[in-house]
Chain A
Amino acid sequence: MSDEELAKDLGLVSAMTIGIGTMIGAGIFVLPGVAVNADGGVGPVVVVSFVVGGVIAMVNALSISELGTAMPKAGGGYYYINKSLGPMFGSIAGMGDWMGLAFASAFYCIGFGQYLAVFVGLPALPLLNPIQVGALVAGAAFVGVNYIGAKETGGIQTVIVFVLLSILTVFAVAGIFSFDYATLVGSGGLAPSGAGSILPSTALVFVSFLGYAKIATVAEELKNPGRNLPIAIIGSVAVVTVIYAILVTTMLGVIPWPELSTDAPVAQAAAASFPVSVGPIGGVAAAAAAVMTAGALLATASSANASILASARINFAMGRDRIVTDWLNEIHPNYATPYRSILLTGGLIVVFIALLGRDIEVLAKAASVLHLVVYALMNAALIVFREADFPEYDPAFTVPLYPITPIAGAALSLGLVAFMDATEIALSVGFVVAAVAWYFLYARDETPQQGVLSEYVRSREEELPDQVVDAADAVAPRGADGPTIMVAVSNPRTESALITLAGALASHEGGRVLATHIVTVPDQTSLETAAENRERIDTESEGLLAAAEADAETFGVPVDTKTILSHRGFEEVFDAARSNDADTVVMGYGGAQFAGGRVEGAFDELAHDLPCDFLVLDGERLEISDVLVPTAGGPSSDLSAEVATALRAALGADVSLLHVVDPGEEETGREFLTDWAAGHGLSDAELRVETGDVETQIGRLGADYDLVIIGATERGLLSRIVRGALAFDTISTLDTPVLLAERPSSRTLRERLFGRR
């Protein structure tokens, strides 16, 4: 808890400057000239386009604020969508956010290049104009800075933003004195191409508003996110919208819009706003233009920087959900930065600058269109969270006028996409197709995440039309379809038997095997001894897990291996089962006993609250051709039946069921067993009803079988094994391997909700 608090060090001002700093780079310094002259001349009405863009951004900002306060998690939009709509939409959102940020970064770099060209002569290279050269140099520098993680001194972001705001304020004041309404309307009136040009122009300038959502990607670092997140997101959109409206109007009243520079509009407007000299001091206008140019470089650099960092956050969140490989998120040993993610994003930026950098409009719209798709999905995610009544969804801030606000947010976002050019619409459609293809070809087999939406659909299978349920099933992740069977291997002699069991289960249920080697370092061991042993442990662990992997692969199931070092012994099995979301743990009897006797009381507590199904094998070798399953009903015998079914399917084992009754009750016994067999898909099993003492019968009959699977008849079987207090003496003397199955009888609310087995 205190750790959580310590990790939060961004206050309201810092959070707002992240949003404002990212946004004003584009809107003021790069776009005005381009936007006002786009499509044959939009004219002064472009100011309205900026305001409309601000309104659309604001509606989405409300939704993001609600989602962000409910889930202050790294990854922002991607995270909410993946959690709510499931990994197929998650793939679209994650890729969309990521590529959108790469396009936006390329756009900011081009903006940087345009102003850099004002200061220094840049060479043209084959296929690249001077601005692209400047942008590439800048892009490489920003990527390098993020790669090394060179530290910005504390609060530099805040300083940059305040400097920019001051420069812009001075410019606005100076501009008002040079403002001439005749200049504003002098070239064909307010809307020379008619009001119809407003929305297409909004589509172009919307890139100026990409930035507020970045605050949500660092929500976990915010102090008091419940209050600060909404204020920062909504506030920064409000502030930049006002700034855009005032400053763009000012620029257009100072310089006739057809003459406004498409490369460095602010420098040009500043030069015209300030008098050439004030009293004896000459060169004021030139100096103002230079200050503006410096401001523009600072602004575009900070936008690009923030975008590159935000893309690494999204990669991290996607890697955590296995939508992309976690390899991307490796941290650099010296710089402590996610360098691979930064390099890959950097590579994309460079490619976009080189291929598309000649036309800044394409970059701007590509960035916007991808972000808009994500915003639309985010609004849908919000509605799903609310409607599905997801218990963990408890936002501190809620959107006003639900459901109008999120519906409007989605409609406005998609509506704006419709005003893009055919190229960008084609790009976004192609992109969605590619992301869905990525999901089906890669991510679907990897990700264990399932969305709230599909849970909701499946829980209402009865009420909903079949098509809806089928559709939900058709796109469901396979990483989650099958259970995770965790094997705790500890001993080379039992490794193969345990893996055989796990492999059979996993292949039958379409799951995966996680082979773990838990190395216990007892507290008593002296430091020197442990150190001497370490190399031996490493080798042993590697050998053991390699053997486990090979054995499991014969079943054609996915295998992961893990060495866990712990000084807590058997308890670690429980922890590992929990942290790896295991559905079943397979372990050896020896391993379970080994931990016994140390902390009995605490252990009893633990074993009474099993995190998942437990299968404990007493035996070293398994060559299974027939299996005996004694049953008296109950949850643990359900588990026995599942294991037997899996062994029958994977290894062709014959299954016999045994039910022991008191003399004279054979008839009811047979009835019970027939029903039970039918209910567990084992109708074709051999049924044996015997009378007398359960243990004696199991002991007598068990000898003829290769494996006896015994379900725990009461809770706490496992703890009794561990303490050596198990009453099944007959069984422990049995030569036949015995598999003890225990299923936790009560499942927590969360497990029931998430449908864990």
Chain B
Amino acid sequence: MSTDDDPHRDLLAHVLLPVADPDDALATAEALEPYGPDRVTALHVVEKGAGVPDKTPVEQSQELAEESYAAVRTVFPDADEHTAYARDVVGAIRDAADEVGASAIAYRSRGGNRLVQFLSGDRSLKLVTNTERPVIALPAVDSNG
């Protein structure tokens, strides 16, 4: 169906899919699904304190990552997984994209009002600014679709 010189397919040749938790992972994967990416790598960034204790114990963070990957695999059974540990989540997403050689990063904004986004750090904005590769903002579809 597709060839390598088809630019539409190139963009989706290898999509890096940052996911936060199983629900987010499922919703994000479903939002990406209609576009039929060739290859998907699910990424979970364990947010590190770097100098202060983490918000959650390491063991719990790793469980969450595993559950999130499983959720992505319900949509993309062949999806690879990649776990990063970093304080700077957005930086870790970019690094992971380099590491796995992703053609694009696809993410789904998780809403929240301005104050919440400000307090927890507005990742959407950071992700699309100064990016070296395409960033796909997926439409926020209902995950029960």
A residues lining the B interface (CB < 8 Å)? 3, 6-7, 9-11, 14, 18, 73-75, 148-152, 154-158, 217-218, 220-221, 306, 309, 312-313, 316-317, 320, 329, 331, 333-338, 521, 523, 525, 527-528, 530-531, 534, 537, 565, 567
**Residue of B at shortest CB range from A145?**
B119
**A537 cross-chain contacts in B, Cβ below 8 A:** 74
Question: Are A155 and B51 CB-contacts (below 8 A) given A148-B119, A150-B120?
Answer: yes
Please name 21 pairs of A and B residues whose Cβ atoms are closer than 8 Å in the assembled complex, sorted by A.
Answer: A3-B85, A9-B49, A9-B87, A148-B116, A152-B49, A154-B87, A157-B51, A217-B53, A221-B54, A221-B58, A309-B55, A316-B60, A320-B59, A331-B64, A333-B20, A334-B120, A336-B21, A337-B55, A525-B77, A531-B75, A567-B78
Taking CB atoms and an 8 Å cut-off, the chain B residues in 76-129 that contact chain A are: 76-78, 83-85, 87, 110, 112, 116, 119-121
B51 x A10 contact (CB < 8 A): yes
Q: A18-B53, A565-B73 are in contact. Are A333 and B58 (CB under 8 A)?
A: no
In angstroms, Cα B120 to Cα A118, docked, is 32
CA distance A286 to B74 in the complex (A): 65
Collect the chain B residues with CB atoms within 8 Å of residue A151's CB. 87, 120-121
Q: How far is the CA of A523 from the CA of B20 in the complex (A)?
A: 25
A179 CA to B74 CA, complexed, in Å: 72
Q: Is A156 touching B52 in the complex (CB atoms < 8 A)?
A: yes
Residue of A nearest to B112 (CB): A334
A337 touches B77 (CB 8 A): no
Chain A residues with CB under 8 A of B56: 312, 316, 331, 336-338
A313–B58 CA distance with the chains assembled, in angstroms: 10
Q: Which of B53, B57, B85 contacts A316 (CB 8 A)?
A: B57
Residue contact A154 to B21, C-beta cutoff 8 Å:
no
* Given A9-B48, A154-B87: A567 touches B73 (CB 8 Å cut-off): yes
Question: Could you say which residues of chain B place their CB within 8 Å of the CB of A309?
Answer: 53, 55
Q: How far is the CA of A527 from the CA of B110 in the complex (A)?
A: 25
Contact with A along B26-49 (1 / 0, CB 8 A): 000000010010000000001111
Bound state CA distance, A148 and B74, in angstroms? 30
A745 to chain B, nearest CB (A): 32
Partner of A220, one of B57, B73, B74, B112: B57
Q: Please state if A527 and B77 are interface contacts (CB–CB under 8 Å).
A: yes
> What is the minimal beta-carbon distance from B16 to any residue of chain A, in angstroms?
16
Within 8 A of A (CB), among B15-29: 20-21, 23-24
Residues of B near A331 (CB, < 8 A) are 21, 56, 60, 64
With known contacts A7-B48, A531-B33, A221–B53 Cβ distance under 8 A: yes
Q: B residues within 8 A CB of A154?
A: 50-51, 87
Is A567 a contact partner of B55 (Cβ separation < 8 A)? no
A-chain residues with CB within 8 Å of residue B85 when the two chains form the complex = 3, 6-7, 9
Q: Contact: A521 with B55, CB < 8 Å?
A: no
In the complex, how many angstroms separate the beta carbon of A511 from the nearest chain B beta carbon?
A: 25
Query: Does A336 lie within 8 Å of B20, measured CB to CB?
Result: yes
Assembly CA distance A6 to B46 (angstroms) = 10
| Cα–Cα distance between A317 and B60 once the two chains are bound (Å) | 10
B50 smallest CB distance to A (angstroms): 5
Q: A221-B53, A331-B56, A338-B56 are in contact. Are A528 and B36 (CB under 8 A)?
A: yes
**Cβ of B55 and Cβ of A333 under 8 Å apart?**
no
> Which residues of A lie under 8 Å from residue B46 when comparing CB positions?
7
B11 near A: Cβ within 8 Å? Answer: no
Complex Cα distance A10/B51, Å?
Answer: 5
Instruction: Give CA–CA (A151, B48) in the complex, Å.
Output: 10
Do residues B57 and A74 form an inter-chain contact, with CB atoms below 8 A? yes
- Chain B contacts of A158 at CB under 8 A? 51
How many whole Å from A224's CB to the nearest CB in chain B?
15
Q: Are B75 and A534 in contact (CB under 8 A)?
A: yes
Q: State A306–B53 Cα separation when bound (angstroms).
A: 9
Known: A7-B85, A523-B77, A523-B78. A156 touches B59 (CB 8 A): no
Q: Note all chain B residues with C-beta closer than 8 A to A18.
A: 52-53
Q: Which residue of chain A is the closest to B22 with respect to CB atoms? A: A333
Residue numbers in B under 8 Å from A10 (CB-CB): 49, 51, 53
A157 touches B52 (CB 8 A): yes
B138 within 8 A of A: no
Q: Specify which chain B residues have a CB less than 8 angstroms from the CB of A156 in the assembled complex.
A: 51-52
Additional pairs, 11, CB under 8 Å, beyond known A11-B51, A148-B119: A7-B85, A9-B50, A74-B57, A158-B51, A221-B54, A316-B59, A317-B57, A320-B59, A528-B36, A530-B74, A534-B75
Complex Cα distance, B110 from A547, in Å, reads 36
A152, B58: Cβ atoms closer than 8 Å:
no
Task: Please give me the residue from chain A that is nearest to B33 by CB atom.
Answer: A531
Say how far A524's CB is from chain B's closest CB, in angstroms. 10
- Separation in Å of the B27 CB from the closest CB of chain A? 10
The answer on a CB contact under 8 Å between A333 and B24 is yes
B70 at the binding interface (Cβ < 8 Å): yes
Quote the shortest CB–CB distance from B119 to chain A (angstroms): 5
In the bound complex, what is the Cα–Cα distance between A313 and B55 (angstroms)?
A: 9
CB distance from B99 to the nearest CB of A (A): 13
Q: Which residues of B contact A152 (CB under 8 A)?
A: 49, 52
Contacts of A527 in B (CB 8 A): 33, 36, 75-78
Write out the residue numbers on chain A whose beta carbons fall within 8 Å of the beta carbon of B75.
527, 530-531, 534
Inter-chain CA distance A204–B55, complex, in Å, is 31
Which residues of chain B have C-beta atoms less than 8 A from A149's C-beta? 55, 120
Whether the Cβ atoms of A74 and B33 lie closer than 8 Å is: no
Q: Are A334 and B60 in contact (CB under 8 A)?
A: no
Q: Check A221/B49 contact, CB under 8 A, given A7-B85, A528-B36, A567-B73.
A: yes
- The docked-state distance in angstroms from the alpha carbon of A7 to that of B84 is 9
- The docked-state distance in angstroms from the alpha carbon of A651 to that of B83 is 49
B57 cross-chain contacts in A, Cβ below 8 A:
74-75, 220, 313, 316-317
Residues of A within 8 A of B76 (CB): 527, 530-531
What separation, in Å, do the CA atoms of A331 and B83 have in the docked complex? Answer: 18
Closest Cβ of chain A to B33, distance in Å, is 6
| Residues from chain B with Cβ under 8 Å of A521 in the complex | 73, 77
Q: In whole angstroms, what is the CA distance A682 to B62 when docked?
A: 48
CB pair B52–A334 under 8 Å, yes or no, is no
Decide if A565 touches B74 in the complex (CB within 8 Å): yes
Q: How far is the CA of A14 from the CA of B52 in the complex (A)?
A: 7
Q: Are A7 and B60 in contact, with the CB atoms below 8 A?
A: no
Q: Could you tell me the distance between the alpha carbons of A36 and B46 in the complex, rounded to whole angstroms?
A: 47
Closest to A320 in B: B59
A557 → chain B closest CB, angstroms? 27
- Cβ of B112 to closest chain A Cβ, rounded Å: 6
CB distance from B133 to the nearest CB of A (A): 22
The CA-CA distance from A158 to B51 in the complex, in Å, is 7
Within the assembled complex, what's the spacing in Å between the Cα atoms of A6 and B86? 8
CB distance from A183 to the nearest CB of B (A): 40
